[in-house]
Amino acid sequence: MSAERPGETGTMLPPLIDHHVHLMIIGPDALCDTALAGVVDLGGPLDTIASHARRDGLPKVAFAGSFLTAPGGYPVGRAWASPGSAREIVVEAGDERAALPTAAETAVAEQLAFGASVIKVALNREAGPVLDAATLAAVVASAHAAGVPVVAHVEGEGMSRLAIDAGVDAFAHTPFTERLDDDLVARAVAAGQCWISTLFVAGYGEPTPETAIALDNLGRFHAAGGRVLYGTDLGNGEQPLGVNPAELALLVRAGLGASAVLDALTDPWPGGPDEAGDGAVATFVPGEPPATLDEFPAWLASARLSPAEDLEQL
């Protein structure tokens, strides 16, 4: 909606959220002076990320805690993964029927005890072993019993299908290593899955096979009614702090119109509608909205945070 603040007119929007960042890489203060009112941290040392989430000020932080993974699975051994980023789930024989909590239940409970609002599982067959179907199902069931969604990093042949079969609620990245057939995309949509875009990191601005696969998958998912979330995987490679216009441009290339891009940027997943700013802040984009969709990403990337009380609706 049109709005005015002292000295300029523009457009007032809800708070903006990046649904995939890594504060362990960029640091807790890197986004304080950006247009982002909220972020979702999708993997880091549980105690460290939990402490970042308790800090005052913006952006507000929702988080997943540690990557839940198979023994030796991704991201174990990765140079960028700080100690404690990966929580390996070691399943013993008969574990699924033990009187005590199972290994999967214990791993989920640890994340929730620190305040995690989403559970992340790593299903990267190209980097090492992955959770078997039964263990993955146990993670999903345990998280759902607590009312918390599960997001998966899927990479490698069959990993998207494994996650969808298990009832995973979200993908941390648009699938970029394999083309999902239309039936599988339809199943993801029917299940209410949401996909976090992260299209830019598939090629960092260069045309790559992974970018083409991701654009095709996301375009068909969106066209089928799928819920798309804006996310950048910030901390992964060189990216601007704050809203990334290149990510927005790729969302447009995937077939999202202006309203769908805004929905992806302002969706409150995985929390409540006021989690990004408690209603006290809004987004202000100066100047007139662009006349063409091609100009939309750059215009939106010029957004700023503003106290809601400083904006007057026109």
Phi, psi angles (nearest 5°) of residue 138: -70, -40
- Tell the residue number behind the tokens 């239940």, with chain if given: 105
Tens of pLDDT along the chain (314 residues)?
665 566 688 899 999 999 999 999 999 999 999 999 999 999 999 999 999 999 999 999 999 999 999 999 999 999 999 999 999 999 876 655 555 679 999 999 999 999 999 999 999 999 999 999 999 999 999 999 999 999 999 999 999 999 999 999 999 999 999 999 999 999 999 999 999 999 999 999 999 999 999 999 999 999 999 999 999 999 999 999 999 999 999 999 999 999 999 999 999 999 854 556 567 888 999 989 999 999 999 999 999 998 877 776 75
| CA–CA dist 183, 165 (Å, integer) | 13
C-alpha distances (whole Å) from 196 to each of 104, 152, 183, 221, 287 are 24, 10, 20, 12, 29
Cα angle, residue 25 at apex, residues 126 and 37 outer, rounded to 5°: 110
Q: What's the one-letter identity of residue 201? A: V
| DSSP H or E stretch at residue 53 | helix 46-53
Paired tokens of 63: 């988080």
Supply the pTM of this predicted model: 0.94
